[in-house]
Amino acid sequence: MESQTGATTTPASISEARPVQITLLNPPDDWNGITSSAERRRRQNRINQRAWRQRHRRRPANCSDDASSAQSTATDEADPPQQIVDRAEDLAVPTGPVILAQGYLLLSTTDRRAKARLFASSAYNDYSSGLPQPGYLPALTHLNVLDAMARNAAAIGISIKGLCRDDLISPFNTYGPSAPSAGEIAATCPATLLPAPIQRTIIHHPWIDLIPIPRFRDNMLLAVAAGVMDEDELCADILSLDYGRGENASLIVWAGSWDLRGWEASVPFLRKWGWLLTECRELCLATNEWRDRRGESRLAF
């Protein structure tokens, strides 16, 4: 890849040039061609449960069910995150109100936040009704990353409001009485988000602190300091909802926001930014584990 300053960088070796394939041609409840009776029953049960929930959503508000029953029904309408993670066709489906309450706040303008909130609500309603839209996947992938970053900001103690400001400086670069001590940070911060020495010495925007892959953070900061990486371009690829810029060179979040085993690098991301993953063994392993779950061939890094 040719960097913004003209320096040449080499992406990680990838044994497979094709992009990540996500099979969405058949609805997940279609049992045509399924020979396993257990699998056919599982899909039929899912259809029956969804139909039951839809009938209850259409019931009058003054129905005689008590409050606890209503609360139970509302809880049942959303698949728990671990169920979402276990199904490849559900890649990056938001897990309900959380994504609406946090992730969209990282977007830079009121208009973008409003559009993201509306889109996420619509996509989640389609998913809950059994009508997921394959075309939503790129935006949902980024919304999940936004939500993960918002959660990580809270874990570190960084306010997500105003986090999109270009002039913001990482709290790890601040000094004086108001600066958080190492003990204060360690008390609430997951191990994967604890700041490395380089995060304290190189002045940077706090969005980098929110990625739970320590070696990746170090590589980014070294590249920024050396002037061989366009930080704004990388940030846009990971967090922006603008898809007119070409391939979706994104990261993907499948599980806990600060558990690096729940993160995956897409093939377009590896093509473009793979050189930043030098010695990022954990992310490489996690990427292949998620590809294994989808039945895709492993990548050679």
pLDDT tens profile 14-48: 444 333 333 333 455 554 445 555 555 555 556 55
DSSP string covering 167-185, please? T---GGG--STTSPPHHHH
CA–CA separation, 113 and 59 (whole Å): 32
CB neighbours of residue 289 within 10 Å: 14
Mapped onto helix, strand or coil, the DSSP state of residue 263 is: strand
pTM (2 d.p.): 0.62
pLDDT of residue 121: 81
DSSP string, 2-34: B-TTS-B--PPP-S--SPPP---SS-TT--TT-
**Residue that the structure tokens 């918002």 belong to:** 150
What was the pLDDT predicted at 50? Answer: 58
Please, what is the Cα angle at 13 between 288 and 194, to 5 degrees? 60
User: Percentage of the chain surpassing pLDDT 90?
Assistant: 30
Q: Which segment of 58-67, 203-212, 268-277 scores lowest on mean pLDDT?
A: 58-67
For residue 180, the 8-state DSSP code is: P
Banded model confidence at residue 274, pLDDT cuts 50, 70, 90: very high
Helices 231-239/137-156 angle, 10° precision: 110
pLDDT-derived band of residue 133, with 50, 70 and 90 as boundaries?
A: confident
Q: Which two tokens stand for residue 226?
A: 């050396």
The set of residues, in sequence order, having a beta carbon less than 8 Å from that of 136 and lying 6+ positions away, is 119, 123, 126
Per the model's pLDDT, the better-predicted residue between 202 and 38 turns out to be 202
What DSSP designation does 80 have?
A: -
HSE (CB half, 13 Å, CA atoms) of 28? Answer: 21
Strand partners, 264: 252
More confident residue, 237 or 19: 237
* First-residue to last-residue Cα distance in the chain: 16
Among left, alpha and beta (phi > 0; psi -120 to 50; other), residue 96 is left
> Is the Cβ–Cβ distance between 294 and 43 less than 8 Å?
no
Question: Which residue, 268, 253, 211, 199, is CA-closest to 235?
Answer: 211
Predicted local confidence at residue 174, as pLDDT: 72
Which residue, 131, 78, 73, is CA-closest to 100? 78
